[in-house]
Structure 1
Amino acid sequence: MKDVFIVGSKGIPAKYGGFETFVDNLVSRQVNRDIKYHVACMTFNKKVRQYDYNGADCQEISVPNVGGAKAIIYDLKALNWSLKEIKENKLQNGIVYILACRIGPFLHNYIDKFHKYGFKVWVNPDGHEWKRAKWSKPVRQYWKYSERLMVKNADFLICDSRTIEKYIHDEYSKYNPQTTFIAYGADITKSSLSKENKNVQNWYKKFGIILDDYFLIVGRFVPENNFETMIREFMSSNVKNDLVIITNVEKNKFYDELKEKTHFDKDSRIKFVGTVYDQQLLKFIREHALAYIHGHSVGGTNPSLLEALASTKVNLLYNVGFNQEVARDTSLYWDKVKGSLKNILEITVKFTEKEISEYDQSSEHQVIDYYSWKKIINDYEFTIMGKK
């Protein structure tokens, strides 16, 4: 039996988040029963639970709700729990898999303790967290410093993007990092909802949106997702379609600043519709968009991009290595040069049904061939069991 302790996700069952969805799928779709997963789960409650979830041993870790620092506290407490479980149950030769690079300055204190029991420490470096505009300069400096120390001290790194894997080797070659590439996953399944569904009809009616006739953006409303470029380019285009933006902008300083700069609220085509937590409704909205616009510039294999490739007919992506790697020639690409996205929007609305169908099928096959959860789980299990 190979014991694998997973540290760094907020927990399962997943409510939201890339790492949480990944861990949920890793556990729920497990094939090889010679692997035993132990998953740390964050809670702010003093009283903690230990429970089984699809065969995984889940342990809640109580942390104080103290802003950004709580994630570091959580990871360290989760490592202490892992070490305690290994000692008490006399476990040997397993893996401690840490998601993201939050605890670099502290990791070296744990390496020898885990090695004593034959446990290797694996790390998923995630994307370029230190580039995110939401962090202050000191926090970004900490992220970069922490990333370096995580790479230096880890036994093995799993990168969910070849672009990230190349960056790790280029940036930290002096540490000779041992890495492999295993992507994030997605499902090719249609929404269970139909056009006749009441929730569907009410949602489209509420916002005055026409089926199959709108551009769509789904994602966090943050600067690094290039909302300013997407909105400005859309406003300058001559397309008659709506731009439907699914995001949470409540108490969002960036939203207020962008409204002041662009006056997008004066353009009736631009529709901020809030968040959609009903996953079947969100999938339906993706499926019935004319095209999806993806502006993410930070990260590895982005979950929302995979969902778009799996569900939306035509995808218009920001021209950056991560997105090119995932979508290849199944999508259209734009950059920040004035007029780039505007031109693509105006081209897209003139596509024939045949052209739309070709983009739809090629992006769907891209996900099936390279990013299906079945393939991702198989890659992980082979790697864990030392067969890859």
Structure 2
Amino acid sequence: MIINNKNVEELQLHKSNPDYSTKKRQVFIIGSKGIPASYGGFETFVEKLTAYRKSQDITYHVACLSNRNGRFMYNDAKCFNVFVPQIGPAKAVYYDIAALKRCIQYIKERDIEHPIIYILACRIGPFIHHYKKQIEALGGELYVNPDGHEWMRAKWNKAIRKYWKYSEKLMVKHADLLVCDSKNIESYIHEEYSEFHPKTTFIAYGSETSPSTLADDDPNFHKWLEERHLRVNDYYLIVGRFVPENNFETIIREFMKSHSTRSLAIITTANDKFLRDLENRLHFETDPRIKFVGTVYNSELLKKIRENAYGYFHGHSVGGTNPSLLEALGSTKVNLLLDVGFNKEVAEEAALYWNLEDGNLAHLIDEAEKLTPTQIETLGQKAKQRINIAYSWDYIVTEYEKLFLKE
């Protein structure tokens, strides 16, 4: 991630800077690509955690993946760039270790009392014992967000999946606290690693229910629709990574079986090989309803697209609380979700559910087409209420601040 300096301020950091008072709780966040966030769940989390900050008793330090070293301020967080060479799949591991070393050195130089190092994801398990001893010697604590079941993702080969599982095990073993964004993940941690008696807490990922800032007649939104031959309230939507565990194949196949006359708009970065394999199996190109519409990086435009979809499909089968699901519940009224624990935990009664059995989703689509306006409005209200009660960023950030301040 290359940091855009338009909204950041370079600064010199000194021991004497009052912002670095050792009386404050100093939290060092490692594992996201950094802020300002341009994409990604962890990046958005760090952006919101710093933007919604209420307590002045916390100072955040955020590692940022960059093509150069340097420091800058953003959202009153002390951000530091970490240059990482292009070394292939090991880049993420190198980045986390390099960032961790920088944090430990910084803590030593400034005699920071009781720091918290919060690592997002379990990439550096085989190396963590060495650094955990240093953190303990400094009077610090190691918090870890275990994320989802990364070791189950089909994109990894067998060796990498084995590494991910082993790394997860060691991160769980050495963490002082595991912050799980899903109750299902928290249960898995306790069941899978009971030998370590892991200490965990549950704090979900966040989202918003505020409408898009774009007007209904916004020309950019309508241009986007026209170029893709879509109409308001006349398309279903998928937004997510184009990987097998998100069940694109099932959704497309079942949609083709359904009697819906609406389109299926798929917002993703399509992997050419996976796309060809799907076409060879499904021949979806013969169905004019199926439209791969590229990516959308403008968050307000994406929100507007969600708001004007008739329905949203969520087929994620791996991971914890998924950001794209929360965004859908906050914007789209009719949500059709894969019936797994992660998704039901989030949406509860605010969505419709399908499974992987042949014909199940096609039938659900046909039933969704029969919903009355009142039923659609009720689902939409329940979805927004679910976000407001349990997943608003204001609430999530408050919970994190209580955790960091040990209230």
The answer for the alignment partner of 1:187 in structure 2 is 208
Q: How far does residue 353 in structure 1 lie from its aligned partner after superposition?
A: 0.3
Q: What pairs up with 1:234-313 in 2 under 5 angstroms? A: 234-249=255-270, 251-313=271-333
Are 2:226 and 1:205 equivalent residues in the alignment? Answer: yes
Pick from 160, 166, 172 the counterpart of residue 145 of structure 1.
166
SS in 2 for 1:68: helix
- Measure, in 2, the Cα distance between the counterparts of 1:181 and 1:90: 31
Pick from 56, 60, 83 the counterpart of residue 37 of structure 1.
60
- Measure, in 2, the Cα distance between the counterparts of 1:337 and 1:149: 36
Q: How far does residue 195 in structure 1 lie from its aligned partner after superposition?
A: 2.9
- Measure, in 1, the Cα distance between the counterparts of 2:138 and 2:151: 33
Are 2:352 and 1:332 equivalent residues in the alignment? Answer: yes
Aligned-residue sequence identity (percent) comes to 53
The answer for the alignment partner of 1:341 in structure 2 is 361
Q: How far does residue 58 in structure 1 lie from its aligned partner after superposition?
A: 0.5
The answer for the alignment partner of 2:14 in structure 1 is none
User: What do the CA deviations read for 1:311-365 (whole angstroms, capped 9, x no partner)?
Assistant: 0011000011100000001100000001110011000111100000000000000
Q: What pairs up with 1:1-388 in 2 under 5 angstroms? A: 1-43=24-66, 45=67, 47-249=68-270, 251-387=271-407
RMSD over aligned Cα atoms: 0.7
Residue identity matched to 2:113: Q
Residue identity matched to 1:32: S
Residue identity matched to 1:376: I
Provide the TM-score with structure 1 as the length reference.
Answer: 0.98
Structure 1 regions of 5+ residues with no counterpart? none
Q: How far does residue 175 in structure 1 lie from its aligned partner after superposition?
A: 0.1
Q: How far does residue 239 in structure 1 lie from its aligned partner after superposition?
A: 1.0
SS in 1 for 2:245: helix
- Measure, in 2, the Cα distance between the counterparts of 1:165 and 1:357: 33
Q: How far does residue 193 in structure 1 lie from its aligned partner after superposition?
A: 1.3
Q: How far does residue 194 in structure 1 lie from its aligned partner after superposition?
A: 2.1
User: What do the CA deviations read for 1:108-156 (whole angstroms, capped 9, x no partner)?
Assistant: 0011111111100000000000000000010000000000000001111
Q: How far does residue 252 in structure 1 lie from its aligned partner after superposition?
A: 2.5
Q: How far does residue 196 in structure 1 lie from its aligned partner after superposition?
A: 1.7
Residue identity matched to 2:187: K
Q: How far does residue 68 in structure 1 lie from its aligned partner after superposition?
A: 1.4
SS in 1 for 2:88: coil
- Measure, in 1, the Cα distance between the counterparts of 2:104 and 2:128: 13
Provide the TM-score with structure 2 as the length reference.
Answer: 0.93
User: What do the CA deviations read for 1:141-175 (whole angstroms, capped 9, x no partner)?
Assistant: 00000000000011110000000000000000010
- Measure, in 1, the Cα distance between the counterparts of 2:160 and 2:138: 34
Residue identity matched to 1:159: C
Aligned structure 1 segments of 4 or more residues deviating by more than 4 angstroms: none
- Measure, in 1, the Cα distance between the counterparts of 2:59 and 2:272: 41
SS in 2 for 1:235: helix
Residue identity matched to 2:90: A
Residue identity matched to 1:259: E
SS in 1 for 2:207: coil
Q: How far does residue 94 in structure 1 lie from its aligned partner after superposition?
A: 1.5
Residue identity matched to 1:58: C
Q: How far does residue 264 in structure 1 lie from its aligned partner after superposition?
A: 0.3
